Amino acid sequence: MNIRELMRPHLQKVNPYVPGKPIEELRREKNIEGEIIKLASNENPYEPMDEIKRAIIDEIPLLDRYPDSSCHYITNELAEYYGLSREQVFVGNGSNEILELLVKAFVNPGEEVIYPFPSFIAYPLICQQSAVTDKKIPLKDFTVDLKAIKAAVTPATKMIFVCNPNNPTGTYVGGEAVDDFINGLRRDIIVVFDEAYFEYVTAPDFPDTYRLLREYRNVILLRTFSKVFSLAGVRIGYSLSHAELASCLHLVRQPFNVNSIAQIAARAALKHFDKLKKRIEENTRERESIADELRAMGFTVPPSQTNFLLVVPRAEGNNLVSRMEDRGVIVRGMAPFGLGGDSFRVSIGTVAENRRFIQTLREVTA
Ligand SMILES: Cc1ncc(COP(=O)(O)O)c(C=O)c1O
């Protein structure tokens, strides 16, 4: 008996998520002894703030208890931070969970989800897992093409993911484009603005999607503690929306979807957000100077508003990603994202990591 054949048919075809390669795995695979740096998963290169670490340590004795099912305190604090009611805030096990819950709550088999491509790699995975139809709309100039997305809407469309800024290109769509897009769009389509990199954005014309919440019951914004707050490992993200939309997510979540360490860490992170300003400024400076260097080396690098850069070489066939791995530098190859295998995405690391990355890339392209 082949157990795999017992699986629900749509799930047998799922393409598994391929994460950025862990440091220890590369060390074993390639027998590397020296320091390995990982710039592959858009993680923050810095440890969580001391205030967060202390809050986590204080929580450890309480781990024999289930977490607060309602995420009471972090929900209230996010609501206060954004000037919304607590009913408008939903907290999830990473924003990734909220994407899943949205599809689970709203999209019937036969209905479709539209999203840009290449974009966040979880979108196709979630659609496959939920047996819903997905429609991938190509980027234009490495940027989400909202006009094309709107033109692709059919009576079957139930949900649209707008990744802004877009992963893996780092580019963004501005406020005017978002207004044109939402204006006249059917209001029974759930529009998800996935803003995982929001805190890194400096562009003055980045859309004020928060404003849309007043007018549109069908709009939801996703944010996360994984990136700028250095908390990818604890898994916590949240959404802002109309209270009615958030109430639907509560109906489909696990009772204890957010663990207690994550709740306590996020509270400390939010409280001390101001202290991250310097790190955000360093990210911006480093990102722009690396982008300039890469362009001077002949790569195409779309302008980024995030903590990563997409790097596209003039020609394919040089195994850049694997040859950088040989030298202990892990970046994310873009083949799974539908780009050429020598294209890669590199996260902005510490100043020293960024220097090492550039040096290594110079070696493998020499
Ligand atoms: C665009 C985008 N959305 C969502 C996520 C998921 O973030 P989280 O760690 O909150 O699940 C990521 C993570 O890389 C992302 O790039």
**DSSP character string of 5-53:** HHS-HHHHT-----PPPPHHHHHHHHT--S--EE-SS---SSPPPHHHH
Residue range 34-59: average pLDDT? 96
Distance 294 CA to ligand 1 centre (A): 25
- For residues 182 and 281, membership in a common domain is answered with no
Say whether both 359 and 253 belong to one domain: no
Q: Which atom of ligand 1 lies closest to the CA of 166? A: 1
Same domain, 95 and 217: yes
Token reading at 49: 């703030």
309 has pLDDT over 80: yes
Q: Which of 238, 271, 304 is the last residue of a domain?
A: 271
Does residue 1 fall inside a structural domain? no
Checking if the pLDDT of 346 tops 90, the result is: yes
Q: What is the tens place of the pLDDT at every residue in 219-231?
A: 999 999 999 999 9
Q: How far apart are CA 75 and CA 228, in angstroms?
A: 19
Atom number of ligand 1 nearest to Cα 119: 1
Name the residue with higher pLDDT: 36 or 18: 36
Same-domain status, 31 and 150: no
**Nearest residue by C-alpha to atom 2 in ligand 1:** 196
Same domain? For 35 and 177 the reply is no
SS3 91: strand
Closest atom of ligand 1 relative to the 236 alpha carbon: 10
User: Residue 70 is part of a domain; what is its CATH number?
Assistant: 3.40.640.10
9 Cα: distance to centroid of ligand 1 (angstroms): 27
Q: How far is the CA of 27 from the centre of ligand 1 (A)?
A: 26
**Residues at CB less than 6 angstroms from ligand 1:** 42, 94-96, 120, 163, 167, 194, 196, 224, 226, 232, 237
For ligand 1, atom 12, which residue shows the shortest CA distance? 196
Are 40 and 58 in the same domain?
A: no
- The pLDDT > 70 percentage for the chain reads 100
Is residue 15 assigned to a domain?
A: no
Residues 255, 173 share a domain: yes
Q: For residue 192, which amino acid is it?
A: V
Q: For residue 226, which atom of ligand 1 is closest to its CA? A: 9
Instruction: Compute the half-sphere exposure of residue 3: CA atoms within 13 Å on the CB side of its CA.
Output: 0
CATH code (residue 330): 3.90.1150.10
Whether residue 361 contacts residue 354, with contact meaning beta carbons closer than 8 Å, is answered with no
Going from the Cα of 96 to the center of ligand 1, the distance in angstroms, rounded, reads 6
Mean pLDDT of 44-61: 97
* 122 shares a domain with 24: no
Residue where a domain terminates, one of 246, 271, 296? 271
**Which of 42, 96, 98, 117, when mutated, tests ligand 1's pocket best, judged by the most ligand atoms within 8 Å of its CB?**
96
Domain extent at residue 281: 20-47+276-365
What is the pLDDT confidence band of residue 304, given thresholds at 50, 70 and 90?
Answer: very high
| Across 8-33, average pLDDT | 88
Q: Is the pLDDT of residue 340 over 90?
A: no
Let me know whether 191 and 325 are in one domain.
Answer: no
Token digits of residue 209: 């999607």
Residues 187 and 161 in one domain: yes
Q: Is residue 13 part of a domain?
A: no
Alpha-carbon distances of 54 from 71, 144, 235, 259, 264, rounded to whole Å = 20, 40, 18, 17, 10
CA of 93 to the centre of ligand 1 (A): 11
For residues 146 and 73, state if they share a domain: yes
Q: In ligand 1, which atom is closest to the CA atom of 93?
A: 11
How many angstroms is it from 97 CA to the middle of ligand 1? 9
- Domain count across the chain: 2
